Structure 1
Amino acid sequence: MRIKPWQTLIAILLLTLAAVWVDLPGQTLDPFGWKSGITVQQGLDLQGGIQIVLEARPPAGVEVTQDVLQGTRDTIERRVNGLGVSEPVIQTRGSNQILVELPGYRDPEQAVRVLQRTALLEIIDTNGQYLAPGTIVNTTAGPASDVLGNEPTPTAEPAATPQATASPATATATPSPGATPGVESTPAAGEPAGTTASPTPEAGATPTPDATSEAEGPVYETIITGADLQDAYPTTDQFGTLVVGFELKGEATRKFCDYTSSHVGFPMSIVVDKQVISSPQIESAICEGRGIISGLNAQEVNELVLQLKSGALAVPLEVVQSRTVGPTLGQDSIDKSIVAGLVGLGLVALFMILYYRLPGIISVIALLMYTSFVFALFKLIPVVLTLPGIAGFILSIGMAVDANVLIFARLKEELRRGRTIARAIEEGFEHAWPSIRDSNISTMITCAILFWFGRYVGATIIQGFALTLFIGVAVSMFTAIVVSRNLLRVLLTSGLFHNLWWFGLERRPAEPAPAPGD
């Protein structure tokens, strides 16, 4: 059964109302809270925030492969998610860099501290010796890259030369099962290796690749590593002090039980990046694989939990670029972009109405629908809007109008040839469609290439431009062919617009009659 124009028009109007409802800010006309998670995602240049470029600095003789770099990027992403940043950008750039953009984040020192640390966590046997917090040690566990299952590295793990922020360990095991000494581990090989925030480097400090090689003295045996960690979480000890709780998994629980059973009364040390955090005394055997790490303040506890749950970095990272973008600049950019968009839209609408008359009015209506559709898609996908992304959206508005120009120019040609208005409308759309299709598809292919290139080089401004332009061009084909065509069909059936003046012609030119079959 053939669908009638008015039926299609009803579907278009319902779709438009839905798009406008999504476009409305906040919870407007939303009594059921359906739009609670639908918001405009603003990029770094619009709402302000932090941009950090991290560069891998492996020890001598270690190669940073794409797999290692991608694994490091994934760990960084998990850490960023723990910071609670909305729509962050974390991507590799070139062969050894990672770009991190944190829109809306206002603490660059904490961001650098959390993202940069290698954070290989170990519990070591100190041979009965008490090691003070801050002591740099050599251990039998290799660098973080070894623990994560990457290629072995010939040198000791790079450490971050952190400050000793943890006070001497007060974490001790209580006799009750499940309370283990202030101990911790790093996540399992399949999981991200643990990281700590307790001994945190100064803001902006960079890892010192060979810090551990400077440690002199014995090599201590590693009992547990981050590869054995099941979970980490903030909790309190028997005195109500905030501490880091952890759980071991699998074979590590038995191994830890055997060790603590045979070393009751002896100290053992918790080490992060080859630096001692605390050295609690083992008061009883710990066989349930649970314990705590104390001696940290509230911020250090939260950061340590975040890093343990997200994993250890496979290679040390150095901050090579860091900048903070203020929200004032972003708001100013938004205001100017809105003005530019309104001015451009107004000029285009004026030209279309004056030159094409009724089809021009139809194109303006279709253009308003187009704008509501695209903005709704930006919120639903969601698309992170940046200043270049807004530029791509405005450019796509011009391309949407271009499709209507091709259609209406052909419509006028058909009218000059003596076609009826109804036949001229159909001929105009059918003959203009191949040109619209080919030009828009070629533009979309170009957008896809630009998006891939921007992702490879870490240029988010290119990605934002390409993505918004791609979506805009795709929607413009729908509005030009479906919306404009059905609006013209419905208006024609009303019988009010049979005068050629409405279509940009003063009168029908006297031309030869069309050939048979036309």
Structure 2
Amino acid sequence: MKWGSVTRLVAVVIAVAVIAVLSIQPIFPNVKWLPLTKGVSLGLDLRGGVHVTLEAKDTAVGKVNNDTMSQLKETIERRVNAFGVSEPLIQQEGKNRIIVELAGIQDPEKAVNEIIKTAFLEFKTEDGKTIITGADLKNATESKDPMSGQVEVTLEFNEAGTKKFAEATAANVNKRIAIMLDGQVLQNPTVNEPIPNGKARITGYSSLEEAHTIALLLKSGALPLQTEVIEKRTVGPSLGADSLNKSVKAGIIGVIAIFAFMLLYYRLPGLIANFALLVYTIIVLAIFSGLHVVLTLPGIAAFLLSMGMAVDANVIIFERLKEELKEGKTLRSAINSGFNRAFVAVLDSNVTTLIAVAVLFYFGSGPIKSFAVALGVGIVTSMFTAITFTRWMLHNTADTGIKNTKLYGA
């Protein structure tokens, strides 16, 4: 018996047990102190949130096309990020629709009015002609006059906008130019003199917070497109919690069945495989946390599927090991030969699955990408645990003097 092997095995078992106790429980959001759960967020289907479908419409100064829809999508993404919403799903549907899903939003009306909806800014003359839009806007900032206490938003136009604004104000002295946002008149001031510096002020806000919201919407990229909310629905957290609990129960039942089968059929290698599966789970969760993966129901399904594939690799290896032992080879020789003969089959099956994962990730979106990421991480990790870690554990176990081939499934 090599006591060094015994010491290494005991040290690894203790270390993994400690990490498991402290870290495993990846999909229980109420447990905040677990190290491997801090970077894992829950998706809309588990956490609840809001789903909104927007439809873009042509205006006098802008038409719906691929370029403007792409700009609209990017604008909404910038706004969502500016408001601190994590991992949103924003995608185009058809020629003129944008789908927005925001997990964890408690106030769907606020999400629509302050985050999602495009702030369509217009300056109109008395005869209804649009002279400038938010597309010509360079910056917008909110402020409060220290003397009067009046809250306002200061607009600064780009070079083209400055020229348009100067010409319009020069042509409309002593006339009104309405400042409109989303079709509503915010201000309708009279032009006293030409304004050549490309700056304007919007007043009439009830609070600095309201002005800040408008300024943020405008400077994050107002577009010459109007949008209409054609669908808005919420996903309740109770529905997500129910789905989460059912997924957890199914996963626990599946893992127990796998553990029992591996232990009863493959005996000592099965016990090692179960331990390697625990190591596999810890590594996958650590990667999820580091990548700040958003966990959805498809992601959980992929995680459980990858666990099955990790066990499948061990099954192939252990069957080869049994064949080598039946041929009369020594234990260590059988272990090496079994792993070498099984490696090609394990590699081929995992590579073909990774190709499918790459296709899903590239062409998919939202939950499909979540599934692809979880499955890809799981497959790569299972290759390590099955080919490297399990082999190391079997070698050290053989070196402890446990050489009865019946314990190895033969």
TM-score (norm 1): 0.67
Structure-2 residue corresponding to 1:484:
390
Report matched runs for 1:194-343 at 5 Å: 222=131, 224-237=132-145, 238-250=147-159, 267-273=176-182, 275-281=184-190, 290-298=199-207, 300-343=210-253
Separation (CA, whole Å) in 1 of partners of 2:187 and 2:14: 64
User: Could you say if the C-alpha distance between residues 270 and 94 of structure 1 is closer, same or farther in structure 2, counting changes exceeding 3 Å?
Assistant: closer
CA contact (8 A) 2:354 2:376 kept: yes
Separation (CA, whole Å) in 1 of partners of 2:134 and 2:12: 56
Structure-2 residue corresponding to 1:134:
none
CA contact (8 A) 1:12 1:483 kept: no
Shift of 1:116: 6.2
DSSP 3-state at the match of 2:321: helix
Are 1:138 and 2:128 matched, yes or no?
Answer: yes
User: Could you say if the C-alpha distance between residues 270 and 15 of structure 1 is closer, same or farther in structure 2, counting changes exceeding 3 Å?
Assistant: farther
Report matched runs for 1:498-517 at 5 Å: 498-505=403-410
Separation (CA, whole Å) in 2 of partners of 1:324 and 1:257: 45
Shift of 1:296: 2.4
Task: Show structure 1 runs of 5+ residues with no match.
Answer: 30-34, 127-136, 142-221, 506-518
Shift of 1:23: 5.9
Shift of 1:429: 0.9
Separation (CA, whole Å) in 2 of partners of 1:499 and 1:269: 91
CA contact (8 A) 2:133 2:224 kept: no
Separation (CA, whole Å) in 2 of partners of 1:359 and 1:398: 16
- Counterpart code for 1:272: L
Separation (CA, whole Å) in 1 of partners of 2:195 and 2:87: 42
CA contact (8 A) 2:262 2:273 kept: yes
Separation (CA, whole Å) in 2 of partners of 1:327 and 1:291: 44
User: Could you say if the C-alpha distance between residues 500 and 450 of structure 1 is closer, same or farther in structure 2, counting changes exceeding 3 Å?
Assistant: same
Separation (CA, whole Å) in 1 of partners of 2:384 and 2:397: 19
Shift of 1:480: 0.6
1:345 to 255, 259, 265: 255
Identity across matched positions, percent = 43
Separation (CA, whole Å) in 2 of partners of 1:468 and 1:253: 50
Structure-2 residue corresponding to 1:493:
399
CA contact (8 A) 1:234 1:305 kept: yes
1:357 to 255, 267, 287: 267
- Counterpart code for 1:493: D
Matched length: 399
Are 1:464 and 2:358 matched, yes or no?
Answer: no
Question: Could you list the per-position Cα deviations for residues 391-445 of structure 1 after superposition, in whole angstroms to 9, with x for gaps in the alignment?
Answer: 1111111111000000011001000011111011111111111111111111122
DSSP 3-state at the match of 2:364: helix
1:425 to 335, 348, 351: 335
DSSP 3-state at the match of 1:138: coil
Shift of 1:74: 0.8
Separation (CA, whole Å) in 2 of partners of 1:64 and 1:5: 69
CA contact (8 A) 2:179 2:188 kept: yes
Separation (CA, whole Å) in 2 of partners of 1:314 and 1:289: 19
CA contact (8 A) 1:116 1:318 kept: no
CA contact (8 A) 2:135 2:222 kept: no
Structure-2 residue corresponding to 1:80:
80
Separation (CA, whole Å) in 2 of partners of 1:321 and 1:274: 20
Task: Show structure 2 runs of 5+ residues with no match.
Answer: 26-30
Shift of 1:230: 2.9
Shift of 1:348: 0.5
Question: Could you list the per-position Cα deviations for residues 362-417 of structure 1 after superposition, in whole angstroms to 9, with x for gaps in the alignment?
Answer: 10111001111111212211221111211111111111100000001100100001
Shift of 1:253: 5.5
User: Could you say if the C-alpha distance between residues 98 and 430 of structure 1 is closer, same or farther in structure 2, counting changes exceeding 3 Å?
Assistant: same
CA contact (8 A) 1:8 1:486 kept: no
Shift of 1:448: 2.5
Shift of 1:92: 1.8
Are 1:397 and 2:344 matched, yes or no?
Answer: no
CA contact (8 A) 1:45 1:386 kept: yes
User: Could you say if the C-alpha distance between residues 227 and 450 of structure 1 is closer, same or farther in structure 2, counting changes exceeding 3 Å?
Assistant: closer
CA contact (8 A) 2:24 2:34 kept: no
CA contact (8 A) 2:5 2:399 kept: no
User: Could you say if the C-alpha distance between residues 288 and 15 of structure 1 is closer, same or farther in structure 2, counting changes exceeding 3 Å?
Assistant: farther
- Counterpart code for 1:367: L
User: Could you say if the C-alpha distance between residues 50 and 364 of structure 1 is closer, same or farther in structure 2, counting changes exceeding 3 Å?
Assistant: same
Question: Could you list the per-position Cα deviations for residues 322-341 of structure 1 after superposition, in whole angstroms to 9, with x for gaps in the alignment?
Answer: 22111111122222222221
Separation (CA, whole Å) in 2 of partners of 1:14 and 1:254: 73
Separation (CA, whole Å) in 2 of partners of 1:66 and 1:12: 56
Superposed CA RMSD:
3.7
DSSP 3-state at the match of 2:105: coil
- Counterpart code for 1:478: F
CA contact (8 A) 1:118 1:314 kept: no
CA contact (8 A) 2:135 2:223 kept: no
User: Could you say if the C-alpha distance between residues 102 and 12 of structure 1 is closer, same or farther in structure 2, counting changes exceeding 3 Å?
Assistant: farther
* Range moving further from structure 2, 11-20 or 290-299: 11-20
CA contact (8 A) 1:71 1:314 kept: no
2:381 to 469, 475, 487: 475
- Counterpart code for 1:401: V
Shift of 1:252: 5.2
User: Could you say if the C-alpha distance between residues 59 and 286 of structure 1 is closer, same or farther in structure 2, counting changes exceeding 3 Å?
Assistant: closer
Structure-2 residue corresponding to 1:152:
none
Separation (CA, whole Å) in 1 of partners of 2:171 and 2:65: 42
Question: Could you list the per-position Cα deviations for residues 257-309 of structure 1 after superposition, in whole angstroms to 9, with x for gaps in the alignment?
Answer: 78768988765432335653202345677676555311123364243122202
Separation (CA, whole Å) in 1 of partners of 2:167 and 2:98: 42
Shift of 1:46: 0.6
- Counterpart code for 1:336: K
- Counterpart code for 2:275: I
- Counterpart code for 2:371: F
DSSP 3-state at the match of 1:333: helix
